[in-house]
């Protein structure tokens, strides 16, 4: 099976088989044509993991999740994300309303994974990175088995006025989850690229600002009455 996908967005491939890719010697696989994109001189494969024995579905999911988190390439929407100890950090069924562009950062020593900043390969304009007081070691407070994972509802980057709250609300909404142990204390920076998301402030009122609303109740709909609001800052790079 060869799964065609744009090289610019990426895909996690568990197994590739095509008879013309095998040479005449038994048990040999030739990947010459799919390793390199001759049209733009770019590598097509960033990492190959070879396992010489059968593994369970859970072990396969752990490896796929590791690759997804490391390279910012989302898995198929019906797949869960697992860490090295087998814990599920993203459940496709429970998070079905936010299964688009699932991305994560995390620290997992068993997988040798230290991804402290990431954005999705589809480049939707959102990136998240861990902040630390220790400039020499950014993973200092982001301890082992700590993860932040998020996905969106696939709505447009456009504002609609909500009559109940009298606010202009962005249609796209994200679900963000954090996983950590008691010793892990970290802060994260959420950045939107205003140009990439085509976020335009069409208001003539200079008193209007962009706010980030966070609802920690865990429901699929934000309660704007109880949500916490953080005023956004737009820098010289047009980042929010």
- Over range 115-134, report the average pLDDT: 86
Place 200 in a pLDDT band, splitting at 50, 70 and 90. low
Task: State the pTM of this model.
Answer: 0.80
Q: Which long-range contacts (CB under 8 A, 24 or more apart) does 80-89 make?
A: 81/149, 82/58, 83/108, 83/111, 83/145, 83/147, 83/179, 84/108, 84/110, 84/111, 84/145, 85/110, 85/145, 86/58, 86/62, 87/145, 87/179, 89/65, 89/147, 89/149, 89/177, 89/179
90-94, 124-128, 129-133: which has the minimum mean pLDDT? 129-133
Q: Judge whether 71 and 121 are in contact, CB under 8 Å.
A: yes
Between residues 237 and 151, the one the model is more confident about: 151
Q: Residue 37 pLDDT > 80, yes or no?
A: no
Q: Residue 154 pLDDT > 50, yes or no?
A: yes
Between residues 216 and 1, the one the model is more confident about: 216
Interval 63-90: pLDDT, tens:
999 999 999 999 999 999 999 999 999 9
Q: In the structure encoding, which two tokens stand for residue 93, read together?
A: 């069924």
Counting residues of the chain whose pLDDT is more than 90, the rounded percentage is: 38
């Amino acid at each position: 099976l060869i799964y065609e996908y744009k090289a610019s967005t990426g895909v996690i491939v568990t197994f590739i088989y095509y008879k013309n890719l095998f040479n005449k010697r038994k048990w040999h696989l030739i990947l010459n044509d799919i390793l390199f994109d001759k049209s733009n001189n770019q590598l097509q494969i960033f990492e190959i993991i070879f396992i010489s024995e059968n593994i369970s579905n859970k072990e396969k999911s752990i490896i796929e999740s590791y690759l997804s988190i490391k390279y910012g390439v989302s898995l198929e929407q019906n797949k869960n994300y697992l860490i090295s100890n087998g814990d599920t950090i993203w459940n496709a069924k429970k998070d079905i309303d936010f299964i688009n562009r699932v991305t994560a950062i995390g620290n997992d020593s068993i997988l040798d994974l230290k991804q402290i900043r990431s954005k999705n390969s589809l480049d939707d304009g959102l990136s998240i990175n861990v902040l630390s007081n220790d400039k020499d070691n950014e993973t200092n407070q982001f301890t082992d088995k700590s993860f932040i994972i998020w996905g969106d509802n696939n709505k447009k980057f456009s504002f609609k006025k909500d009559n109940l709250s009298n606010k202009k609300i962005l249609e796209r909404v994200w679900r963000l989850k954090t996983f950590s142990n008691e010793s892990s204390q970290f802060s994260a920076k959420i950045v939107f690229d205003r140009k990439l998301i085509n976020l335009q402030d069409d208001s003539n009122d200079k008193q209007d600002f962009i706010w980030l609303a966070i609802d920690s109740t865990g429901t699929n709909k934000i309660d704007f009455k109880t949500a916490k609001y953080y005023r956004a800052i737009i820098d010289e790079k047009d980042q929010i």
